[in-house]
Structure 1
Amino acid sequence: MSYEHDARRPGSEAFAAALRDAVNARDVTLSWLQRQLKARGNRVSMATLSYWRSGARRPEGAQSMAALADIEQLLELADGALTRLLRSTNRTGPLGPNQFPLDEEELERAVIEAFRALGAPYPDTSRELTTHSVTDVGPDGSVFFTITRSIVQSTVGTITSIPFLEINPGVPTPPPLLSAVSGGRIAARYSHPDGEVHGALFELDRPLTAPDTAVVEWSVEYPPDYPATRDTGHALAQKCRELLVWTRFHPDAVPDWCEEHVETPEGITITPIELTGGTSVHLVRRAFGPGALGLHWGYGPRE
């Protein structure tokens, strides 16, 4: 598994020294640490761990930061003992426009109502720096589970929570089950009366003061009475450094055709996608947003 670029930047020495001290104090090896991380689903290479310990590189990407949170636990450190040493690189930088990613006024009004009901300011004062969204498609060809991991950043003041929404334009649905996986808890839930917008307020483990960042992870499970859904994606109100939308199909439900849908303020672009014998499709955009990146699929001839 490849990790996002881990750069050598100011502050690497302090982080590396703290990591070395923690490994020595725990009296473990990097090989042991790698095995424990693998057991937790974080496949960090020995070379990467060695680079982090020496200060040649430092964790930067969403998966690297998630692995670092596990390392703190494995080395019996306080939460944030290592991650806070990386704060010197957390710069807000150019924010760019913050705007509703879809060109639908009625839908935006429903989103504003959802924010208000959840007690969140609109527009959101956080942004996603890196987001990886993974969707599993069941044997019936419909979405049944999505898990998303993001590095989020406070852009103004201090934030304690972030609203996450499920939006289905033109398709009323029952509320899916949004759950906090890591980095916080669900503090409130809301479903708009039109059934097109459902959301939850994700309360962070710790407050974020601009330009601090945190890694958060949440999942969405779709109930049995949920309408058949053959599209997935992720929308951004601000520019994101990297957005990954990975769709994994059940072996018995590999689609006959797929399309990439990209919606930005400039318009909508639809591009056919070739599966070429595989069972998954991943879409990647860098420096993307505001906008939405999604995948649509079907069976039989394209209508």
Structure 2
Amino acid sequence: MNVHTGMPDTTEPPPAVGRRPPSAELARLLRTGPFHAALRAAIRARGLALHRVRHKLAERGVTVGVTSLSYWQQGARRPARSESLRAVRALEDVLDLPPGALLRLLEPVESAAERPVGRSYQTLVEQADVLRSLLTELGAPLDGGLHTLDHWERVRLGARRELLARSSQQAVGAHREGVDRYLAIHHGDAGCVPELVRVRADENCRVGRVRWRPGVPVVVAELLFDTRLRPGETYVFGYTVQDGTGGESHEYVRGFSFGGGRYVLQVGFDTAALPVRCRSFTRATASARDCEERELTLSGGNRTVHLVRGDAGPGLLGIGWDWE
């Protein structure tokens, strides 16, 4: 939430004369933020494609590229410079919003309750030191240059209650020049033997270097693309991590450095080992308490649970389960 004078702002910006009042969802986002989600909802409410938004801004003497607009509504970047803030003022007019409705969401944060637009992945994991060492060994920049647009993930549990495998199908967007790879980070459960974990390229990528540390349940694998992406370009790829080496599993968690993408997670259980309770949750960091907990019901012949989040991250999102 955006916080002003130490307290949450619970007032809605009143609609200006001649403007249609926003929908309940858009009004909530204009009140609480974050900026990128409110902007995306406002664009959707007006039914405008980004090139039309750019055209209408140009009519008002403001030049903003489609790529920048896309970054803003995905949460990959945040307007900060004076010309960008001028564009946001013009956006309020284009999107039929009250003056200041979007700008107020860009005001300086006064509370730790406000999540940043982007967050280092290393703040989202427990083995941060090991992960940092592995990323350095692979020559990975602090910002990999990619943000998630759409991510479908399937996790399979075995008869011993162990994590057998997880498969990912991802659509990503580039916000840095020359991106040609994705680093897949796997966190096994206690007892995981990292050298026995296997990474398989399923679609539009190939496996490059794979790194781990003995005794630490973290594996980092390069997934190499067959092209170099420019800012604003997208890419779709899929891969599978085969584990099965760890002990009893109790949750699966996915970390997001940037916000704005859709995430779908499905967890499937063996009929010989079904949980008695499942729930979805979010966490701000690896050490934070669970938030937004919601009970999940087994489906698919009482073998699977799932969650769908249209605006995942920054932070952690997952499913946990209890055994009998």
| TM-score of the aligned structures, taking structure 2 as reference length | 0.59
Per-residue CA distance 1:38-75 (angstroms, 9 max, x = gap): xxxxxxxxxxxxxxxxxxxxxxxxxxxxxxxxxxxxxx
Equivalent residue in structure 2 for 1:280, among 300, 304, 312: 304
Equivalent residue in structure 2 for 1:191, among 199, 205, 212: 212
Per-residue CA distance 1:168-193 (angstroms, 9 max, x = gap): 58x46212211111111011000035
Q: Partner amino acid for 2:71?
A: G
- 1:263 pairs with 2:283: yes
Structure 1 equivalent of residue 6 of structure 2: none
CA–CA distance in 2 between the matches of 1:105 and 1:232?
12
Work out whether residues 101 and 290 of structure 1, in 8 Å CA contact, stay in contact via their aligned partners in 2: no
Q: Secondary structure at the match of 1:121?
A: coil
Give the direction of change, closer, same or farther, for the CA distance of 1:122–1:221 in structure 2 (3 Å limit): same
- 1:173 pairs with 2:173: no
Q: Which moved more, 1:256-265 or 1:280-289?
A: 256-265
Q: Report deviation, 1:212.
A: 0.7
Q: Partner amino acid for 2:309?
A: R
CA–CA distance in 2 between the matches of 1:102 and 1:293?
15
- 1:233 pairs with 2:259: no
Q: Report deviation, 1:286.
A: 1.6
Q: Report deviation, 1:295.
A: 1.3
Give the direction of change, closer, same or farther, for the CA distance of 1:9–1:199 in structure 2 (3 Å limit): same
Structure 2 equivalent of residue 100 of structure 1: 120
Structure 2 equivalent of residue 151 of structure 1: 171
Q: Report deviation, 1:252.
A: 2.7
Identity between Structure 1 and Structure 2 (%): 16
CA–CA distance in 1 between the matches of 2:71 and 2:279?
33
CA–CA distance in 1 between the matches of 2:236 and 2:298?
34
Work out whether residues 245 and 293 of structure 1, in 8 Å CA contact, stay in contact via their aligned partners in 2: no
CA–CA distance in 2 between the matches of 1:221 and 1:126?
24
Work out whether residues 160 and 273 of structure 2, in 8 Å CA contact, stay in contact via their aligned partners in 1: yes
Per-residue CA distance 1:247-284 (angstroms, 9 max, x = gap): 11222322111132311258532625242663211111
Structure 2 equivalent of residue 205 of structure 1: 226
| C-alpha RMSD of the superposition | 2.9
Q: Secondary structure at the match of 1:139?
A: coil
CA–CA distance in 2 between the matches of 1:114 and 1:289?
23
User: After the TM superposition, which residues 35-184 of structure 1 pair with which residues of structure 2 at under 5 Å, given as runs?
Assistant: 92-94=70-72, 95-96=76-77, 97-101=117-121, 103=123, 107-168=127-188, 171=190, 173-175=192-194, 176-184=197-205
Q: Secondary structure at the match of 1:109?
A: helix
Q: Secondary structure at the match of 1:111?
A: helix
Give the direction of change, closer, same or farther, for the CA distance of 1:10–1:263 in structure 2 (3 Å limit): closer
User: After the TM superposition, which residues 11-50 of structure 1 pair with which residues of structure 2 at under 5 Å, given as runs?
Assistant: none
CA–CA distance in 2 between the matches of 1:114 and 1:226?
20
Q: Report deviation, 1:215.
A: 0.3
Per-residue CA distance 1:86-120 (angstroms, 9 max, x = gap): xx889642214321357568622322212111222
Q: What count of residue pairs does the alignment treat as equivalent?
A: 217
Q: Secondary structure at the match of 1:131?
A: strand
Structure 2 equivalent of residue 222 of structure 1: 243
Q: Partner amino acid for 1:122?
A: L
Give the direction of change, closer, same or farther, for the CA distance of 1:150–1:106 in structure 2 (3 Å limit): closer
Give the direction of change, closer, same or farther, for the CA distance of 1:90–1:140 in structure 2 (3 Å limit): farther
Q: Secondary structure at the match of 2:133?
A: helix
CA–CA distance in 1 between the matches of 2:214 and 2:298?
42
| TM-score of the aligned structures, taking structure 1 as reference length | 0.63
CA–CA distance in 1 between the matches of 2:317 and 2:268?
16
Structure 1: 5+ residue stretches without partners: 1-6, 12-87
Per-residue CA distance 1:118-171 (angstroms, 9 max, x = gap): 2221232111111111112222332211100110111111111111101258x4
Give the direction of change, closer, same or farther, for the CA distance of 1:106–1:139 in structure 2 (3 Å limit): closer
